[in-house]
Amino acid sequence: MKTRFLLRAAATAILGAWSACAFALDPLSYAKYDQVKTSALHMDLKADFARKTLDGYAELTLDWLDKSATTLDLDTRELSIAKIEAQDAGGAWRAVRYTLDKFDPEKGQALRIALPGQPNKVRIHYRTAPTATALQWLTPAQTLSGKRPFMFSQSQSINARSWVPIQDTPAVRFTYTARIQAPEGLRVVMSADNDAKATGKGGWKFTMPQPIPSYLLAIGIGELDVRSLGPRTGVYAEPKRIGAAEYELADTEKMVAAAESLYGPYRWGRYDMLVLPPSFPIGGMENPRLTFLTPTMIAGDRSLVDLIAHELAHSWSGNLVTNASWKHWWLNEGFTTYVTTRILEKIYGEEVATMNLQLEQEEALEHLKTLAKEKQALVTRHPDTSSEHYTDEELAYPKGAWFLRTLEQRAGRAAFDPFLRGWFDQHAFQSVTTEQFVAYLRANLLAKNPQVMSEAELDEWLYGPGIPASAKLAVSERLARLNATTAAWLKGELDTAQLPTKAWNAAEWMKFLNDIDNKADAKRLEELDKAYGLAKTGNNEVAFRFYRASVHAGYRGIRPNLEAFLMSVGRQKFVVPLYAALRANEQDRAWAERVYKAARARYHPETQASVDKQMNKR
């Protein structure tokens, strides 16, 4: 049996290597990167806050793979193209012909450039639209100081095309340089080498020497201060937030060292972070050299630093080894979620890591109840390659991590840790598919340890719905003890004032609020609020769960605080479920619509689109 397994593993390894060159083109991109690839990008852009545009040019250095190809197809969305030039053999720039295809709501427009031969460089002169899906332009009133405007990008997953004409697919990696002009008094930062001492005279200049995919292109412009956290770590934030950010992120240098001890050297030079205004739509974005962070992770007690560990972990899983298309999203997020737990354990101990992991798995099981089965696989086998058949984005995080944890538990860390580090080392700065990982798994772990997972179970984890019955749920002793307390409180056997909350950490509060959601009535929620001030807590993860449980219970005494929260926080993880809960109750619906009407302009376009769907449901 073992000999047969070794032979099969060798064969699949060969097929996996072949598939690295032969996998299907990304269906969410117009680029024909089997013919020509971008190897380098230079941007020269001017930020105009009055018009809410970036204006200038992008210069692409090209690597021609098909010697007969003479057309360059790029991804764009709402870009105004002024002219396109190609560089001839003598170095002169000459205008070339181009066309823009019909606009597609999901993919934007294909920009098709007809070229004389195969030039080394092409330059596109263009201007972004004020409605660019990647960019949010904030008025001074939407910032902490109220004095200067702010702009930031969110390119993932296919929004880079709305501010740069590019091959907008994770299958293509390139280095980049940039010169950005911005109004005086505003600092520009990018996912590149940020010089804390730069003044911006002559334009802000950047270099990203490591090749990245387009979704990791990032820019931020605003009134920013900077603080050092260690020899290779620092944080940028608005001046009024920089002190709190510096305190909250103090352990970042330790996290980098912990990750390196597990998975090899950090290969990106510096690890800096940018704390954005509250409208940032997600928790964090792993832009290399400059992670973008939501201010909602600043709790004042470092209780939500697992978010930092997660974004740092992307420096190996996602940034270093990247999913080749968004169909394989779990290769980025599932791996990163697993690595996050290992970093937390290394720094804060096994109990803290296990508490976070149990909460993550329990919430995943609850989320599964809301999903159609076809959205529950880590990767789809559906013949239609459109994104509607991809796995649920939220589920990919915990399910992918659970799969890797299962392999680790059965193989043992002595075998699994070198296996995972080898995956990162052997595929560094490459874009990969699930098929490649499976080939690597069979050849480098299962061939020597066939008892770890059968082919049937492997298939179930990757392509089946839900979480396999063989999976083990993480169990924290502290959270297990909390179950009895929660049950007694729900039965009325334990008064609200008797809850042992002084010993609770954030994870215990989150589990308690999850477990009483849709079980406690308005009176009990009001008791909790009066006893512990949950509607005013500085921990946004706790606040969100308390608001959600209160809405479900019909406790409307939280409305002033909830309205302030919805008006100031744009993180989709929080606002979308809260609006959904409010819309579900007829007595809350009109109030929710009024609040959203006032708050909508403060949200990022992605958040607006998500809440708009909720509001349009009948």
Q: Which residues are catalytic?
A: 311, 397
What is the distance between the alpha carbons of residues 234 and 312, in angstroms, rounded to a whole number?
13
Residue 262 corresponds to which amino acid? L
Do 174 and 41 meet the contact criterion of CB atoms below 8 Å apart?
Answer: yes
Write the secondary structure of 220-272 as one string of H (helix), E (strand) and C (coil): EEECCEEEEEECCEEEEECCCCHHHHHHHCCCHHHHHHHHHHHHCCCCCCCEE
Residue 525 corresponds to which amino acid? L
| Residue 292 β-bridge partners | 274, 285
Q: With the C-alpha atoms ordered 409, 414, 417, 420, is the resulting torsion angle positive or negative?
A: negative
- The DSSP code for 403 is H
Q: Which pair of structure tokens corresponds to residue 308? A: 């930092």
Classified as helix, coil or strand, 455 is: helix
Instruction: Return all residues near 445 (Cβ < 8 A) that are at least 6 apart.
Output: 407, 411, 415, 416, 419, 452
How many other C-beta atoms can be found within 10 angstroms of the C-beta atom of residue 117?
9
What is the distance between the alpha carbons of residues 502 and 42, in angstroms, rounded to a whole number?
54
What is the distance between the alpha carbons of residues 175 and 106, in angstroms, rounded to a whole number?
26
Omega within 30 of 0 (cis) for the link into 153: no
What is the distance between the alpha carbons of residues 446 and 451, in angstroms, rounded to a whole number?
8
What is the distance between the alpha carbons of residues 552 and 443, in angstroms, rounded to a whole number?
50
SS3 content of the chain, % helix, strand, coil (to 5): 45, 20, 35
What is the distance between the alpha carbons of residues 268 and 319, in angstroms, rounded to a whole number?
10
Distances (CA, A) of 468 to 377, 395, 462: 11, 14, 10
Residue 589 corresponds to which amino acid? R
Q: Which pair of structure tokens corresponds to residue 239? A: 């001046």
Residue 372 corresponds to which amino acid? A
Query: In what helix (H) or strand (E) does residue 99 lie, and over which residues does it extend?
Result: strand 97-100
Quickly list DSSP for 304-344.
TTHHHHHHHHTTTBTTTEEESSGGGTHHHHHHHHHHHHHHH
- The DSSP code for 442 is I
Cβ-based burial of 250 (10 A; exposed 0-12, middle 13-18, buried ≥19): middle
Q: What Rg value do the Cα atoms of the chain yield, rounded? A: 25
